[in-house]
Amino acid sequence: MERIKTDILVIGAGSGGLSVAAGAAQMGARVVLLERGEMGGDCLNYGCVPSKALIAAAHHAQAMRDGAPYGVAAAEPQVDYAAAQDHVAQAIARIAPNDSQERFEGLGVRVIREEGRFLSETEVQAGDHVITARRIVLATGSSPFVPPVPGLDGVPYLTNETLWQLRERPEHLLIVGGGPIGLEMAQAHRRLGSRVTVIEAETALGREDPEMAAIVLERLRAEGVEILEQTAAREVRGSAGAIEVETADGAVHRGSHLLVAVGRRPNVDGLDLDKAGIETTKAGVTVDSALRTTNRRVLAVGDVAGQGQFTHLAGYHGGLIVRSTVLGLPVRTKPQIIPRATYTRPELAHVGLSEAEARAEYGDRLEVIREAYQHNDRAIAERQTAGLVKVMIHRGKPVGATIAGAQAGELIGTWALALSAGLKMSQIAGMVAPYPTLGELNKRVAGTYFTPRLFQNDMVKTAVRLVQRWLP
């Protein structure tokens, strides 16, 4: 048994863990990194990267169908599903070296490809190694949650971890779960030629602003995705190629493949957290605003920290941990500045407070500005006018923003910066956006906010008349 002493032990080589390991090692700390599975974690191997690659393939297929309004003859695409999956694999392979064991060892990180479990508050065993660390960082991520639906364990089903192994296009894909993962894969497979039925026990995109979610759902239904809401799966039966999902209303939905996409659960099993005095909830490890667990020598980042399941959130957490564990600086998480995006077409993105949350907090002191895509010249030129920007403003500062429409995930960056930096609407108004771009929508929101203050204000008009009287 090898005994290792180190400054920082990181358990998990996903986005959060790699951010901590790279930052700490390059700043001179001794770092040991444990990873039982693939380097790069869920995002690289099963989540963000492969899903966006498949969405890109589906976009090209759909473009062939939608060419007529642009003067290009519409044609039904000849989809090679295996080649589309090859594109997914190639995208992963191209990014993988950045997350590889070789790269991190080159940075000075000791990488051990074993599962870790706590022996005490400061010791972790990984295979034939016992590691003692001044600080331990849990970055174990999350895994697909499989609900206890009767019969599910007896039929072949897919999750986001196994979907990428398919080589033949599903004839009819049944998807249990109408959240971001379920709907992204629903639209992608519909565009690639599959029939798709989404079965959602509550409301599709239920976490999002209903007004904005409706824009996305309308487009998916228009493309032929069947979305059943308030429809819980009661029983699953069948065999490969012939799956049946019976819902609570007694209806039976038949398909060739089944994708389970009802959410994710934190990876805490097998860590023996109780031996380290670390408390957990269903959401994950219990942490304070500095990401410290109930064992103050142990911190948690990313999905397992229970504050959200986004790669960029894990990276943000990782940066905070480097500041606190390497430099000894005080840190505090700011959940309100973390954006999220669903990469359907149109996209749906959000940061800060929703309209409902902002109204509950600020009441009649809140202003909500809406700017429709249909008034944007670039959106008109590209026939992408189905969309809306909604910004919640309190005392001249944005407190939340939601965007449904083309490139919403890119456009939300302006409002994420505004919330992070505490910008005022006057500073957004002072920004110059290139013409013609969708980015002008954000600038126009600021213009709409100031219009009644400048052009419908008697005091302003009186002041202007006085100034004009005295100007030479």
Confidence band, pLDDT 50/70/90 cuts, at residue 452: confident
Say whether pLDDT at 460 is over 90.
Answer: no
9-28 average pLDDT score: 97
pLDDT at 377: 98
Say whether pLDDT at 455 is over 90.
Answer: no
Say whether pLDDT at 466 is over 90.
Answer: no
Confidence band, pLDDT 50/70/90 cuts, at residue 202: very high
Contacts 24+ apart (CB under 8 A), 331-336: 331/290, 331/291, 332/289, 332/290, 333/289, 333/290, 333/291, 333/307, 334/420, 335/307, 335/308, 336/419
Q: In CATH terms, are 2-39+100-144+265-333 and 152-263 the same topology?
A: yes
CA dihedral (34, 36, 40, 43) in degrees, to 10, reads -130
Residues in the chain: 472
Cα(181)–Cα(324) distance, integer angstroms? 33
pLDDT digits (tens, 9 = 90+) for 71-94: 999 999 999 999 999 999 999 999
Beta carbons within 10 angstroms of residue 86's beta carbon: 14
Distance in angstroms between the alpha carbons of the first and the last residue of the chain: 89
374-402 average pLDDT score: 98
**In the predicted model, what is the mean pLDDT of the chain?**
95
pLDDT at 472: 75
User: In the chain, where are the structural domains located?
Assistant: 2-39+100-144+265-333, 152-263, 337-455
Say whether pLDDT at 324 is over 80.
Answer: yes
15-41 average pLDDT score: 96
| Token pair belonging to 159 | 């999750």
Confidence band, pLDDT 50/70/90 cuts, at residue 118: very high
- Residue pair 62/361 in contact (Cβ under 8 Å)? The answer is no
Say whether pLDDT at 463 is over 70.
Answer: no
Say whether pLDDT at 259 is over 80.
Answer: yes
Please provide the CATH number assigned to the domain covering 2-39+100-144+265-333: 3.50.50.60
Say whether pLDDT at 458 is over 80.
Answer: no
pLDDT digits (tens, 9 = 90+) for 138-175: 999 999 999 999 999 999 999 999 999 999 999 999 99
Sequence letter at residue 194: S
pLDDT digits (tens, 9 = 90+) for 282-321: 999 999 999 999 999 999 999 999 999 999 999 999 999 9
Confidence band, pLDDT 50/70/90 cuts, at residue 467: confident
Binding-site residue ranges: 52, 116, 140-142, 177-184, 200, 263, 303
Cα(434)–Cα(145) distance, integer angstroms? 44
Beta carbons within 8 Å of 437's beta carbon, 6+ residues apart: 378
Say whether pLDDT at 21 is over 70.
Answer: yes
pLDDT digits (tens, 9 = 90+) for 234-250: 999 999 999 999 999 99
- Give the CATH H-level superfamily of domain 337-455: FAD/NAD-linked reductase, C-terminal dimerisation domain (3.30.390.30)
Sequence letter at residue 457: N
pLDDT digits (tens, 9 = 90+) for 216-236: 999 999 999 999 999 999 999
435-442 average pLDDT score: 97
pLDDT at 464: 66
pLDDT digits (tens, 9 = 90+) for 329-373: 999 999 999 999 999 999 999 999 999 999 999 999 999 999 999
Beta carbons within 8 Å of 452's beta carbon, 6+ residues apart: none
Say whether pLDDT at 280 is over 80.
Answer: yes
Beta carbons within 8 Å of 357's beta carbon, 6+ residues apart: 400
Binding-site residue ranges for NAD(+): 177-184, 200, 263
Reduced to 3 states (helix: H, G, I; strand: E, B; else coil), residue 8 is: strand
Please provide the CATH number assigned to the domain covering 152-263: 3.50.50.60
Q: What is the per-residue burial (b if ≥16 Cβ within 10 Å, else e) of 114-140?
A: ebbbbeeebbbbbeebbbbbebbbbbb
pTM recorded for the entire structure: 0.94
Binding-site residue ranges for FAD: 52, 116, 140-142, 303
